[in-house]
A and B are shown apart, each in its own frame.
Chain A
Amino acid sequence: MIKMEKISAGIWEIPMGAKPGMHVPARILSSEDLIPGIDDAVLDQISNVACLPGIQRYALCMPDAHRGYGFPIGGVAAFDAVDGVISPGGIGFDINCGMRLMRTNLTLEEIRPRLEAIVNELFRTIPSGVGSRGFVTLDRREFRAAMTEGSAWCREHGYAVDSDLERTESGGKVSGADFEAVSDKAVSRGISQMGTLGSGNHYLEIEFLPERGLVDAQTAKIYGIDLPDQVVLAIHCGSRGFGHQIATDYLRVFNNRAAHYGLKIRDRELAAAPITSPDGQAYYAAMACAANTAFANRQVITHRVRQAFEKIFGVGWERLGLLTIYDVAHNIARFEEYRIDGQPRRLLVHRKGATRSFGPDNAEVPAVYRAAGQPVIVGGSMETGSALFAGTQQAEADYFGSTLHGSGRVMSRTQALKIIRGDQLRDEMARKGILVKTANLRELGEEAGCAYKNIDDVSRAVNDLGLSRLVARFHPVACIKG
């Protein structure tokens, strides 16, 4: 059993000697309330990450950490761009799974009378559930353009406006994408899924800002949250089967080539390759394709959301103020620069179930938000709604510019179903004023709020550690689930 020791408020450490081969300590960022919920598998996984070549400073666990494959979910690790490795297990099967938050000019009172109509329209026009196909018809040439250009491809085809790109991580395009690194199977899985939500914990939610939800009015205003009871929309999905296949393909390659690269495999889900190797370069190029496809997917869904609101409210989306607040990836690896031992170093930061948290004045933060820091969008369970944070300079200085991504699951699917069935949950949520529309009533029960950590506990830990600053908490009024 791996032991950790508390080193300061909110920070626990697994020292380098805890497991043979650790190059750096592992740090678990948490709170007194949350730390008992961190299980041994998380400690084992994060200490395995600390053994990977080229890792810098610490292997990190965010406060929403729970066990995953290879890396824990909520795991962050930065590797030297020259001497380090890249690992699909540090990114996840759902490459660039992420969150988008959109604002509106509507209040809860204004949307209530048309809520059922808008939910039905969103459910009809944004495909969700297993086996669903998107409304965007692409041939292979166009799909290649989308995976290379990301959100810019959407703008070219009328699915995005300039401000969408401005308010998406890296403009909705990860450079280095090369479709030659992507298998035919990945293309075949992904080509018909553009504009689909998927299933599992992916969703589209209509939420509002309750009075008690506003924490930092000044920053909220900069982000476009400026009305009492203001309605917002949260979109949670990723690169769909395209990314899943790329991860499957490269995990196989990396496991087969481990001996060639002289890498010891502690966990086949943590297979890795040197960043500068042909295999490492190819995976990065394919991962960038999946990341761009995911940005495009959330953008195309945004376009459908605008069309649905226009139809139900009978006015243009611009008048409804349906603007992207921000779009962030939470399963991705990004090249970023940090100071290590006082020297600037280019690192490949893996964030698996973790979000960028860039503070004020960072050039990567859109100019309109630069004074406040980057918006960080965090999904809770479908019963608790989302949270909006601001990135911090402290996160950049101490934690490779990273923070949490969600509230973190604590209960298995079968356990959740023993507590509440899908139809019971739907009815219970309706009594609370939350309308649910789902392609799969059984899976709805598996995603019940009781299956997740309390987002307020996690938010408090994040705030206290300075990983990011809580700006606002939103409450759900409708949820569309795959």
Chain B
Amino acid sequence: MRKFEISDAHTTADIGLAVEAESMPELFQAAAEGMFAIILGTGCVEVKTFSQTLTLQAGSVDQLLIDWLSELIYLFDAERIIPVAYHLKVEEGGEKRLHGSLECRRFDPDGERAEHEIKAVTYYRLRIIWDGDRYRCHVVFDL
């Protein structure tokens, strides 16, 4: 099970996201779903999808999560790509790796509205923790 909750951030101008999940791939997926809920708001658009794969590597899972969300911001900003289904694998031993196979759609600025533009994912107090029951983290976005 995974879930996210959008909250006030530490700065008054920005938005935070509390995320929890039973596994690391689910945590990464919930963080991405929460981020796109901030960008797009709620609502469902029926459109054609296409596949996209990506592989990321970082020295820590915290950095890997930042790289993952930053990659999705880049894909949205540069190519208007929005993931709608996720198949993620996170390798936590040694160098951390994420392998993602995504089903995506393209944002249509003429046909749909977005609510927020995210400039970047911040490092602000970002730390993934395992509380014995599930993974948790809080991500803050600069708007």
Contacts and interface: CB of A to CB of B under 8 A. Distances in A.
Given A443-B115, A443-B116, A68 B11 contact: yes
Contact of A66 (B9, B12, B113, B123): B12
10 contacts: A41-B10, A130-B115, A131-B114, A189-B78, A199-B116, A201-B13, A252-B63, A252-B66, A268-B126, A439-B113
A412 B74 contact: no
A440 interface: yes
B139 to A, nearest CB: 13
Nearest to B114: A130
Interface string A156-184: 00000000000000000000000000000
B82 to A, nearest CB: 10
Q: Chain A interface residue count: which class?
A: 35 or more
Contacts of B122: 69, 269
B117 A200 contact: yes
Query: Closest 10 CB pairs between A and B?
Result: A268-B123, A130-B114, A188-B78, A412-B8, A131-B109, A199-B117, A244-B119, A93-B119, A241-B77, A130-B117
Interface string B100-143: 00000001010001111101111110100000000000000011
Contacts of A443: 115-116
Given A93-B119, A132-B109, A413 B78 contact: no
B39 interface: yes
B41 A442 contact: yes
A268 B143 CA distance: 18
Contacts of A245: 74, 77
A130 B67 contact: no
Contact of B143 (A41, A200, A411): A200
A252 B67 contact: yes
Nearest to A412: B8
Given A269-B122, A414-B8, 16 more contacts: A66-B12, A94-B119, A130-B113, A130-B114, A131-B76, A131-B77, A131-B107, A199-B116, A200-B13, A245-B74, A248-B120, A251-B123, A412-B8, A413-B15, A415-B8, A443-B116
A413 B119 contact: no
Interface string B40-63: 010000000000000000010001
Contacts of B78: 185, 188-189, 241
Contacts of B70: 248
A188 B74 contact: yes
Contacts of B99: none
Contacts of A255: 63, 123
Interface in A29-67: 41, 66-67
A413 B11 CA distance: 10
Contacts of B66: 252
Contacts of B115: 130, 440, 442-443
Contacts of A41: 10
Nearest to A69: B122
A333 to B, nearest CB: 18
A256 B126 CA distance: 16
B77 A69 contact: no
